[in-house]
Amino acid sequence: MPRRPAAMPDSRPGFLELQYRFTANVRNPDGSPLPEGIEDRRMQVYRDLMFNNVSNFLGGSFPVLRKVLGEDAWRAIMRDYFATHRARTPLFPRMPREFLAYLETERAVDDDPGFMLELARYEWMESAAAIDSREIDMAGIDPGGDLLDGVAVVNPLTWPAAFRYAVHRIKPDSVPDQPLPQPVYLVVFRDRDDKVGFMELNPVTARLLELMLSADGRSVRELLYRIAREIEHPNPDAVIDGGRAILERFLERGVVLGVRAPGQAS
C-alpha cells in the first residue's frame, strides 16, 4: 500500500512560535500577548526601536502630511499602519508606496482630513521621482527640433495627476476645508540633472501632456488640432500658437526632452 503523507503538525515549532509572538508583540503590544519568558521592559526597547524607525522614515517621505496632521495624529496613524498593514516588500525605498497603499485600501477613519490621501499621493510622487533608478536616454532625440511638426518625447520620469485639492499649496497654516470646484492638474518630474520639480497645468495643457504620452507617432501639431476640435475652439491656429509656448516651457523644465521625426522608431 502507498504510504500516507505525514500529517501536518497542529502548531508551529517552538522557535517559530517564539518569533511569531515576538514580532506580533512588537507590532501590536495592545493586541498581542508578551512572549513567554521575556520581560516587558526588554520588549519595549525593541518596540520603540522598530516603531520609531518606521515612523521617522515615513515622516521623512511625507513631511508635509506629518506637519499638517500634527505629531499626535501622525503617531496614531503610524501605530495603526505598523500594527495592521502587511507589507509586500522589506525594502526601505518602497515603504512610502506601502504606506500609500494602506491609506488607499485599508484606512477608513471619518476624522481623517479629506485631503490626506491626495496629499500623501502627491508626496509619494515626489519620492518616486527622486528614487527611480531609470536613466534618461537622449539617443535619437533632438532637443532643438521642430516642436510642432516633430513627435514630442516626454520625459519617462514624469508623473501627471489630477487632484481635488491643491495639494502643492497645503501647509500647516493653509489647510483646505473643502475640495476645489474644479480639479487641479499637476505633473511631477525628474530632469536630466536629477532635480525633482513640478508644474501646475491648466486643463488644455494637461490634455496635451496626456496625448503626448500616447501619441503613437503623431506630431504635436496633430495633437493640438485634436484638442481644438475637442474644446470646439473657434480659432484652431490660436490653440497651435498656445501649444508652441506650452512645449517650449515643457522643454525648458525637462518634462519634454525633445522631438523625433514622425515615423521614427522610439
pLDDT digits (tens, 9 = 90+) for 204-230: 999 999 999 987 889 999 999 999 999
Of the listed ranges 7-16, 120-129, 195-204, 252-261, the one predicted with least confidence: 7-16
The pTM score is: 0.86
Is the CA virtual torsion 69, 72, 73, 76 positive or negative? positive
Q: How many domains does the chain have?
A: 2
For residue 6, the 8-state DSSP code is P
Q: What is the pLDDT of residue 8?
A: 42
Residues 6+ apart with CB under 8 A from 89: 95, 98
Residue 50, C-alpha cell as written in the block:
522598530
Percent of the chain with pLDDT over 90: 72
What CATH number is associated with residue 235? 3.90.930
Q: Is 250 inside a domain boundary?
A: yes
3-state secondary structure of 186: strand
Q: Are residues 189 and 90 in the same domain?
A: no
Question: Which run of H or of E encompasses 236?
Answer: helix 236-253
- pLDDT category at 7 given cuts 50, 70, 90 is very low
What is the arithmetic mean of pLDDT over 245-262?
94
Q: Are 150 and 140 in contact (CB under 8 A)?
A: no
Give the C-alpha distances (Å, rounded to integers) separating 137 from 191, 209, 212. 12, 19, 18
Q: Is 225 inside a domain boundary?
A: yes
Q: Locate the DSSP E strands across 178-252.
A: 184-190, 196-201
Q: Are residues 165 and 238 in the same domain?
A: yes
The residue range of the domain holding 34 is: 14-112
Q: Are 212 and 154 in contact (CB under 8 A)?
A: yes
Q: Is 99 inside a domain boundary?
A: yes
65 vs 93 pLDDT, higher one: 65
Q: Is 118 inside a domain boundary?
A: no
Q: Is 6 inside a domain boundary?
A: no
Q: Are residues 157 and 252 in the same domain?
A: yes
Summarize pLDDT for 88-143 with one digit per residue, the tens: 888 888 999 999 999 999 998 999 999 999 999 999 999 999 999 999 999 999 99
What CATH number is associated with residue 106? 1.10.150
Q: Is 60 inside a domain boundary?
A: yes
Q: Is 265 inside a domain boundary?
A: no
The domain boundary residue, chosen from 63, 84, 112: 112
